[in-house]
Amino acid sequence: MLQKPRGTRDFLPDEMEARRAVEWRLREVARRWGYREVCTPEFEDLELFTMRSGEGIINEMYVFEDKGGRKLALRPEITAAVIRMYINEAKVAPKPLRWCYYADCFRYERPQKGRYRQFWQFGVELIGADSAIADAEVIMLASDMLDTTGVRYELKVGHLSFVKTLLKDVEPETQRKIRQQLDKKDFEGLNVTLEGMNRPELAESLKTLVATQDLAEAFDIAGAIPERERIEQTIGYLDAAGIRYSLNLGIARGLDYYTGIVFEGFADNLGAENQILGGGVYRLAHLFGGDDVASCGFAIGFDRVMVSLGETARTKDTVAAIVCTPETRMRALEVARAFRSAGIRTEMDLMDRGFSQQLSHAAKSADFAVIIGQREAASGEVMLKDLRTGEQKTVTLDAAVAGVVASGSRG
């Protein structure tokens, strides 16, 4: 028997309904903020990803050659593709561009809980706005989106200039190593690196910076930072908007194109693989032949959000089952149409079951049985049975529909 590929999943109806419900809420928040959906191909030229991240990323991707000899890759993330699309299709469009997307990505890595070879991201890119209020808007939107999912999380906000300033006289390769260790919270490895440099004062400054929750203290630790005014403005906007966050000025995103504010979201019930959001200010378009446009964005790890939500994400429609005899089936079709037109999930027997078998099946899969016998067909009424309580009564079709709708609205 054939099995699904390793690192992928099948989603049964209950799961898909829960996923679509959360996805819809994210889309609605993005819409209210003025962000419009875009879509890019699932595969791109391999160079789009190696140009930014180097040849080493090839081992983490699904790479293939097409019949024309072109080297292609299934997208491991979407930001690069969106910026490529901006350069190709929208470089002269009025700025800023507020774009969002929901799509699957692919990475070849060891599958584990919350980490899959095919996974979904909901992301946002704000292109062409280079200001403190633009940075703040994206973080506020990220907070709003996580709030709407219902996930319990902590949002952490930092800025790369603090770490960059402290490391300004460190040679580039060691800088990159230290930033990666900070990004991965590998403090043991960081201690080894700093001890090897014989820079105890730098070690102390980095540790104090990572620990502080006071912005003024952070400026004292790092010294003169050209971006100070913009950082203070951005943080001021977040505070004025009542955003729940903590400072983490040790965030040092490993990707080199981030240039300023960075932020991350962590679920409080996922263990080690608990990051559900990551983003920041970046400049990427110039690498692909475009203008040096400022951008700010983030991606939400949709699968981890769903794992974090667990059973609380499950939604259940109110279901009405039409129960009829062969003689009343035509009337039953009219009744089913009325229920469906009112937005009620409605099912009819397709197996030629007897009357009692239909009722028995309905009790397993529905909330209400809408019974249409000879008497009901003649009178134009229906017998509505609440399968949860056993209560039943004969009512008009309109009253039956209204009763089921009201039951659904009560949850």
363 pLDDT higher than 60 = yes
Q: What is the mean pLDDT of the chain?
A: 91
Residues of each annotated binding site: 77-79, 107, 121, 125, 253, 257-258
Residues of each annotated binding site for L-histidine: 77-79, 107, 121, 125, 253, 257-258
pLDDT for 330 equals 96
pLDDT digits (tens, 9 = 90+) for 263-306: 999 998 888 889 999 999 999 888 888 888 999 999 999 999 99
Q: 46, 145 in Cβ contact below 8 A?
A: no
pLDDT digits (tens, 9 = 90+) for 398-408: 999 999 999 87
Lowest mean pLDDT among 65-74, 97-106, 161-170, 387-396: 161-170
pLDDT for 171 equals 83
pLDDT digits (tens, 9 = 90+) for 108-157: 988 877 789 999 999 999 999 999 999 999 999 999 999 999 999 999 99
Intrachain domains 11-130+268-311 and 319-409 with the same fold: no
Q: 321, 370 in Cβ contact below 8 A?
A: yes
pLDDT for 194 equals 78
Query: Under CATH, which number does the domain 153-265 receive?
Result: 3.30.930.10
pLDDT for 179 equals 81
pTM value?
0.90
pLDDT digits (tens, 9 = 90+) for 187-230: 788 778 877 777 778 878 888 888 889 999 999 988 888 899 99
Delimit the domains of the chain by residue range.
11-130+268-311, 153-265, 319-409
Q: What is the mean pLDDT of residues 228-257?
A: 88
Most confident of 59-63, 97-101, 177-181: 97-101
Query: Under CATH, which number does the domain 319-409 receive?
Result: 3.40.50.800
CATH among 3.40.640.10, 3.40.190.80, 1.10.150.20, 3.30.930.10 for 11-130+268-311: 3.30.930.10
pLDDT for 223 equals 84
pLDDT digits (tens, 9 = 90+) for 43-56: 999 999 988 777 77
Most confident of 8-12, 181-185, 202-206: 8-12
pLDDT for 410 equals 56
167 pLDDT higher than 80 = yes
Q: 36, 98 in Cβ contact below 8 A?
A: yes
